[in-house]
A and B are shown apart, each in its own frame.
Chain A
Amino acid sequence: MADTGNAVKPSSSVKLVLLGEAAVGKSSLVLRFVNNDFQENKEPTIGAAFLTQKCNLPTRTIKFEIWDTAGQERFASLAPMYYRNAQAALVVYDLTKPTSLIKAKHWVAELQRQASPGIVIALVGNKLDLTNDGIGNGADGDGAGSDDSGDARKISTEEAKTYAEEEGLLFFETSAKTGYNVTEVFTAIANAIPETSLKTTRGPGASHAAGRTEEQRVNLNGPRDPNAKEGCAC
């Protein structure tokens, strides 16, 4: 019975892109979500990585097709390729690093300008375990004096949350290290994708079809000339 239930449950794929400054923990969030794993000294991403992971909702299954992009500046010009057809974006900052929120705001603005109009954006403050209120390091944030006792937080929840509300973004603080709130982000996104924008499919052809349309579009301006100097320029 459960089996038939699953088989009937509609399944759809959702293209999701992660953006954010280098080293904020994008790859770590994905690794936690996909493999439930964490690596202390993760290497910077080169280019982008493509991963998939299913997310089971009560009424349907969402198959995330995740683009984990590199945060380093020199890859910035490739970003449009990844967010162009995305239905969801995770814009990540490191809540111990003020510049990373500024960068995140730039990404949000760029997405609002250039990405598909219906894109669901989640703002994610990562490395919550480095703060005193973090779940997983035991300390229960009692406020006063916590700055002196090793709290590395530089961006208050209030500040980021206010901004997220103004811009209509989902908002979470996470720790890829402890796993706190990671699945929640993806589930919230899955729930926030409007039913109408989901192409329900039952076979593995879905992503291919999506790829096809993109390819045709791309053919117009994607030269085969190996000498072509494009992309990734500094």
Chain B
Amino acid sequence: MAQEEAEGNNGPTSPPSPPPPPLPPRRKPSMEGSIQVAPAQSKPTTAVSSIDISTLSFPDGSRGTFSTNTTRAVSSPVGSGYATPSRNGTAASDLADAMSVMSFAPTLRPPGDLASLVAGELNRKSRAWNFLRSQSETVQPFESIELGAPGNLAGFEREFDEIPDDTTDDARLAIWKSKMKHYMILSSAGKPIYSRHGDLSLVNSYMGVVQTIISFYEGAKNPLLGFTAGNARFVIAIEGPLYFVAISKLGESDAQLRSQLEALYMQILSTLTLPTLKNIFVHRPSTDLRKPLEGTESLLSSLADSFTKGSPSTLLGALECLRLRKSQRHSINNIFLKSRSEKLLYGLIVAGGKLVSVIRPRKHSLHPSDLQLIFNMLFESGGIKSGGGESWIPLCLPAFNNRGYLYMYVSFFDGKQELPPTAESAEPAEPAKEPPLPTEDINKVAATTGDSNRAEEEIAIILISPDKESFYDLKEMRDRLAAQLTKTGSLALIRTAARQARPKIQSITPGAEISHFLYKSRANVQFCMSSLEPAFSSPSASPSPSLSQGHKQLATAEKMVARRRLMSVYHELHASMHSKHSHLKVLHAVGEDAASLAWITPVFEFYCVAGPNVSRVAMTQGANRVVQWAKKEEERLFIIGGGVF
């Protein structure tokens, strides 16, 4: 049944169950060499397309955002090439010119010799260009960006501000329209269910329009998948009785937006289960779903906001782990297994949104999309964390089994002695009802990136059981586990590791010129990345006291924008690498404000960003060294297998 299905899909080998890594698209020998990929943005403005409908309808129980690897990436429609309608004002053709694309076939070659692949003098830039470049070697990515300067991210720093109640409708509508990202959920009967921005009275009429358009195509048996209006891309997903709409001016691909919508759908299933959702609408198609979903708006919004800020985890369909020595992780796993309760299905230790340890039955694995929902609930949204004490939460993990509930015991380790006194109240999940203070945004950004010390130090034990009466068993298990972790010093180890945050590039490969990277281990469905500080995230733990409040706010806003720019580059790279007709293995792109490199082998996906003047050679060298480092550190960076019982 659904359960076996999930199992079959995931394979039983390792905890965030890796779907078997898809084989890279087979290449004909004649395609050896370099391929110029058509610029992704040469899209018609309205892409109403009926191709690939079957692949776009959601698959059954096994689905999840993270199935991107197995199905979505391969089956994404041509339309997924949609990208970057406006990139910092750079005309699309400029971008295409600046982007030289090569493809190689290292399929069976061990990773690690990127430099030799790219070493040839492929750089067709003129000598004058090279001279110019050498004059300004040290430009950081996005350095030239001024806040408020016209560009595709102008105003992004206000993206998460609430729309004020106390102005005219026209003013509110103007603010609403200025948002760069919208998510809407409505029933097929046209009843609004959720909108990220604006209360439903404000957006009701727009929902009506959306419903009319979608139903029109539905009625014609020719479902509308997406369209473009101005610089906004609309992507639509239809899930039984529900319509999901993403509207983005941030340049994500259709496939990327679609996987974001799917995650929102998973969140709804997690609250209701699929049979309940279906029943509600079978009996009363005009039901207002807001009532049964009441109280989960903040979960939907924190998911949505993590996509808008740019979530590496969602983009890569992978999880991040806490870096630990192999022997340390091993002994934590063993302690975990020894304290196991009979009632346990899954056990997780998580520090600051990073996985520390997982235990699970041999025949069940945990799906990353389910873990994403749990992490979102516990770490991005404030409800559970701020409640204090222990929580007992019924939830459906749709990738595991979308038909029923599991029960989740959660307890956070009391890190109070290390936390500033305001820590608990400082992490609202949803924008406050009053105009949110910019300082809250610091926390929100920090919580998403996990680079905040505060967020880093939150250590949670999560114990999941199918038995709704097993709270006291799991609580006892937690007490045993906590005692052992404390006694053996493992807890202190976890704390220390969590506090160290992510490695800086300079500590991995001193002298490297790349500014940031993402590395995904495909087999483990896990990723690691370098620290976002200082360029892309503010160290919120100790804001420099010398800065005035105004300066701090400005700095925060700049970092938020810089971080989104970084994520946008990653999204573009990812979209190019995964679009249906690109069989790319390596891609090097130079834009006005940053250079970037993507490199995919059967083992890993690697993406990095550097300043616009960093040479390709320097980037590939940096990339090589990071990849070698990741290979050497594999068992520290990733959980391989986890504890199985």
Contact = CB atoms under 8 A, between A and B. Distances in A.
Contacts of B272: 74, 234
A211 B343 CA distance: 14
A61 interface: no
A112 interface: no
Contacts of B491: none
Contacts of A70: 295
Interface residues of B, number: 55
A39 B385 CA distance: 13
A190 B343 CA distance: 33
A152 B625 CA distance: 66
A22 B295 contact: yes
Interface string B269-299: 0011101100010000000000110110010
A39 B425 contact: yes
A22 to B, nearest CB: 7
A46 B389 contact: no
A42 B386 CA distance: 8
Contact of B405 (A39, A49, A208, A230): A230
B388 A31 contact: yes
B413 interface: no
Contacts of A210: 472
A227 B472 contact: no
Interface stretch (A177-185, A191-199, A217-225): A217-225
Contacts of A22: 294-295
Given A35-B388, A211-B475, A231 B394 contact: yes
Nearest to A74: B292
Contacts of A110: none
Contact of A227 (B271, B388, B392, B403): B403
B466 interface: yes
A50 B412 CA distance: 12
A169 interface: no
Contacts of A117: none
Given A22-B294, A50-B391, A231-B394, A226 B429 contact: no
Interface string B379-422: 00111101111111111000011011110100000000000000
A227 B1 contact: yes
Nearest to A75: B394
B32 interface: no
Contacts of A27: 387
A162 to B, nearest CB: 31
A73 B401 contact: no
Contacts of A73: 291-292, 294
B19 to A, nearest CB: 21
Contact of B388 (A34, A40, A46, A231): A34
A48 B292 contact: no
A37 B193 CA distance: 34
Contact of B276 (A45, A47, A207, A233): A233
B429 A227 contact: no
Contact of B275 (A41, A224, A229): A229
B473 interface: yes
A208 B393 CA distance: 20
A234 B406 CA distance: 16
A215 B473 contact: yes
B469 A214 contact: yes
B295 A72 contact: yes
Given A229-B404, A234-B276, A46 B384 contact: yes
Q: Which 9 A-B pairs have the closest CB atoms?
A: A211-B472, A43-B383, A51-B389, A47-B393, A218-B469, A44-B295, A226-B466, A232-B394, A222-B469
21 contacts: A27-B387, A31-B387, A31-B388, A42-B386, A43-B381, A43-B383, A43-B387, A47-B392, A49-B390, A50-B475, A78-B394, A207-B472, A211-B475, A215-B473, A218-B470, A224-B343, A227-B1, A229-B275, A230-B405, A230-B468, A234-B276
Interface of A: 22, 27, 31, 34-35, 37, 39-52, 66, 68, 70, 72-75, 78, 81, 207-208, 210-212, 214-215, 218, 222-234
Given A37-B424, A68-B389, 5 more contacts: A41-B432, A45-B383, A50-B391, A72-B294, A214-B472
